[in-house]
Amino acid sequence: MASSDEIYDEMIAYTALKMEQYRALTSEIEELEKEEEDMVSGAYGAPDGDIGAVMDQINVYRDQVLCLRIEIEQIWSEMHAHRANLMTRYRDQLVSEL
């Protein structure tokens, strides 16, 4: 059985891993939103711009952002469930070590 220190270290490492995944997805979302903004601002100024094509591309960007946001929700869900399990194990181990 793992000691309370080992469980605590696992909890910290797991949280750091999930937060890094969260930051990577958030960064990707920001990039997609920036690309969408650039496309919209470029389309308004173009005299020969195909608004239909621009709207199609915007919808693609928004779909990608939605998928990434769903991934973020899954990361949060996994993280909270696993952390709750680890915290329970940590508490039980601390009690048994007393």
Per-residue pLDDT of the chain (98 residues; tens, 9 = 90+): 788 889 999 999 999 999 999 999 999 999 999 998 888 777 776 666 667 778 888 899 999 999 999 999 999 999 999 999 999 999 999 899 88
* Residues 28 and 67: beta-carbon distance below 8 Å: no
Give the per-residue pLDDT at 49. 63
**CB-based contacts of 33-39 (< 8 A; 24+ apart in sequence):** 33/61, 33/65, 35/61, 36/61, 36/62
CA 36 to CA 15: how far, in whole Å? 31
Predicted local confidence at residue 55, as pLDDT: 83
Q: How many helices (H) and strands (E) in the chain?
A: 2, 0
Q: What is the pLDDT of residue 45?
A: 65
